[in-house]
Chain A
Amino acid sequence: MSAGTIGKLLKDLPDEDHSANFQREVPIMKKGDHLVIVGMGGVGGPAAMLAKRLMPEVDVTVIREEERFIVR
């Protein structure tokens, strides 16, 4: 297979990229910082558990509206 063919096969589909491009520094939360998560469905529960595991010194709060959290 020629390099040209390989290059063609590896080409991204299609090359237009529509993602938002907000530039940010990598944020690192510090001891005592407050992380607030609104919602405790697919996103909120797993995010809170992992955030606390990776950053035990950060204060993590999850807010949810409903009585119970569904496993999803």
Chain B
Amino acid sequence: MATVDSITNPDQMFADAGINLVIARATHADAEEKKITLSDGRELPYDKLLLGTGASPVVPPIEGCDLEGVFSLRSAPDAVEINNFLEKENRRKLVLIGAGFINLEVATLLASTKPDHYDVTVIELLSHPLPLMLDAEMAVQIQEYLVEKGFKMKMGQKVVKVFGQNGKVAGVELATGEKIDAEMVLVSIGVKQNLELAKDLGVEIGKFGVKVNKFLETSVPDVMAAGDCVEKQHFVTKRPVTGQLRGPAVIQGRLAAKRLAGYDIEFPGVMNNSAVKLFDKSIASVGLTEELAHQEGFETISTTVNSRSKHGMIPGVKPWTLKLIFDKESQKVIGGQIISDSEAPVKEIDTVNALILGGKTIAELTTLMCAGNPDCSSEPSLEPVTICAEQALQKLRA
């Protein structure tokens, strides 16, 4: 497993760039005096302030979540603590509450590191794994794959209690009354924005975090905010969403810097661009799932096409599947999902991302021409974006 040192940036990078780095907690922010107070008592004046305070894991109000051996994961020290806890008494029985990408990635990583060692149970309230990324019929492939790998997948189940023995976790109880033994429980059911400083400053806060305009400015002059702590707008629905992913955080951070340097570039909104690797399956999604599109009032057309990573005769060819979702009224593409047996095709989701951003329609997608070569793409006749679009054309006529 990677060490903390190998995945962290040396602070020297910032010093070399002439950036002052302060390692302390900011305990208070004052918009009138334009200053930040630190945990060591220092005060830092600002002319412009950028809040990038992120979010923290939600701990559900379930009895027993405070027992030793119940974890959530946000930071590198959390990962080290989890690993040490498992190693210490050679613990084997893992229960993961939530089947989002963080929990599934942790479970597959642990299972790959020590094959046949862990007994993994994943419990999810919704009907299928990766519910924010995949529709049910796509997710079921992943569910079956994880079951083949030895995971127990308990979907559509609610944990009502975590129980313990001598202060340590011993298992969880489901709403059905079923009890599952556990030596460690990992809870990943979402995150909540870190808003303490935002509240000090008196900035307007929405349902999903600090409210910002398209230039990431808050309601308080000279205070900007970005990333997980900020409420975003969905590019397709234009409605407020959380958008708590790396892409929006990094792009918003850099956009804020450009704004302060006088550039006039608007943030376009988010599309939940996500990717995850579970054992040998690479999965990605963008835009609305079909389920979410229906909840948002869209009438949809969707098509799913199987393709391959190389031309059929090339050694190492692997299958992959693309699902595209279209709004029936405007005929624009509004979402895409990929499941692939190799890593490269999964980045085709960025093509779908660009097509959504460009407002492209079914008809326009039928003429998309892609770079091709026997070693690194399917045959042109199996290029799945165009085929999905052609099938959607036919469904429109039906």
Residues in A lying within 8 Å of B, measured CB to CB = 8-24, 26-29, 33-56, 58-72
Find chain A residues with CB under 8 A from B36 CB: 36, 38, 63
Knowing A62-B22, A65-B24 are in contact, say whether A38-B9 is a contact too (CB < 8 A). no
B137 CB within 8 Å of chain A: no
Which residue of A28, A29, A53, A70 is within 8 Å of B75 (Cβ)?
Answer: A70
Q: Report if A29-B260 is in contact (Cβ < 8 Å); known contacts: A20-B212, A43-B253, A62-B20.
A: yes
B38 nearest CB neighbor, chain A only:
A63
Bound CA span A19–B199, Å? 20
| Interface pair B53/A39, CB less than 8 Å apart | yes
Q: Which residue of A lies closest to B234 (CB)?
A: A18
**Which segment, of B160-168, B177-185, B330-338, B390-398, faces chain A?**
B330-338
Q: Confirm or deny: B117 has a beta carbon within 8 angstroms of a beta carbon on chain A.
A: no
Q: Which chain B residue lies CB-closest to A42?
A: B249
Q: Is B252 an interface residue (CB 8 A)?
A: yes
Specify the chain B residue showing the minimal Cβ separation from A27.
B260
B19 touches A43 (CB 8 A): no
Q: Is B370 an interface residue (CB 8 A)?
A: no
Set of chain B residues within 8 Å of A14, measured between Cβ atoms: 237-238, 297
User: B52 contacts A39, CB within 8 Å?
Assistant: yes
Bound state CA distance, A65 and B23, in angstroms?
6
Quick one: which of B38-73 are within 8 Å of A by CB?
A: 38, 44-54
Q: Which of B10-18, B81-89, B313-321, B379-387 contacts A (4 or more CB under 8 A)?
A: B10-18
Contact B260 A35 (CB under 8 A): yes
Interface presence of B312 (CB below 8 A): no
Complex Cα spacing A61 to B46, Å: 9
Residues of B within 8 A of A (CB): 4-5, 7-9, 11, 13-14, 17-26, 29, 36, 38, 44-54, 75-77, 197, 204, 206, 211-215, 217-219, 221-222, 226-229, 233, 236-240, 246, 249-250, 252-254, 256-264, 269, 297-298, 327, 329-332, 334, 359, 361
Summed over the interface, the residue pairs from A and B with CB atoms below 8 Å come to a total of 228
B20 lies within 8 A of A13 (CB): no
Nearest residue (CB) in A for B297 is A14
Q: Which chain A residues border B327 with CB–CB below 8 Å?
A: 13
CA A7 to CA B109, docked complex, whole Å:
49
13 of the cross-chain contacts (CB-CB < 8 Å) are A13-B332, A14-B297, A19-B214, A22-B217, A36-B44, A36-B46, A44-B253, A63-B38, A66-B75, A66-B76, A68-B76, A69-B8, A69-B11
Known interface pairs A26-B259, A28-B262, A46-B253. Does A39 touch B51 (Cβ–Cβ under 8 Å)? yes
Inter-chain contact B53/A38, CB cutoff 8 Å: yes
- From the candidates B48, B51, B226, B298, name the one contacting A27 in the complex (CB within 8 A): B48
Nearest Cβ on chain A to B52's Cβ, whole angstroms: 3
Given the complex, which residues of B lie within 8 Å of A62, measured CB to CB? Answer: 14, 19-22
Contact of B330 among A11, A16, A63 (CB under 8 A): A11
A12 to chain B, nearest CB (A): 8
Query: Which residue of the partner chain, among B50, B226, B257, contacts A54 with CB atoms under 8 Å?
Result: B257
User: Known interface pairs A18-B240, A63-B36. Does A38 touch B7 (Cβ–Cβ under 8 Å)?
Assistant: no
Output the least CB separation between B384 and chain A (Å). 22
When distances are taken between beta carbons in the complex, the residues of chain A under 8 Å from B260 are 27-29, 35, 51, 54-55, 58
Closest CB pairs A-B (n = 4): A42-B249, A43-B52, A39-B52, A47-B253
Q: Say yes or no: A50 contacts B258, CB within 8 Å.
A: yes
Contact B8 A44 (CB under 8 A): no
* A39, A45, A50, most chain B CB atoms within 10 A: A39
Q: Which A residues lie within 8 Å of B17 (CB)?
A: 48-49, 52-53
**Quick one: closest A residue to B77, CB to CB?**
A66
Residue ID in chain B nearest A61 by CB atoms:
B20
The interface residues of chain A lying within 8 Å CB-to-CB of B228 are 41-43
Q: Residue of A at shortest CB range from B232?
A: A19
B325 to chain A, nearest CB (A): 12
Cα of A21 to Cα of B213 in the assembled complex, Å: 5
Which residues of B lie under 8 Å from residue A46 when comparing CB positions?
Answer: 250, 253-254, 257
**B261 pairs with A29, CB closer than 8 A:** yes
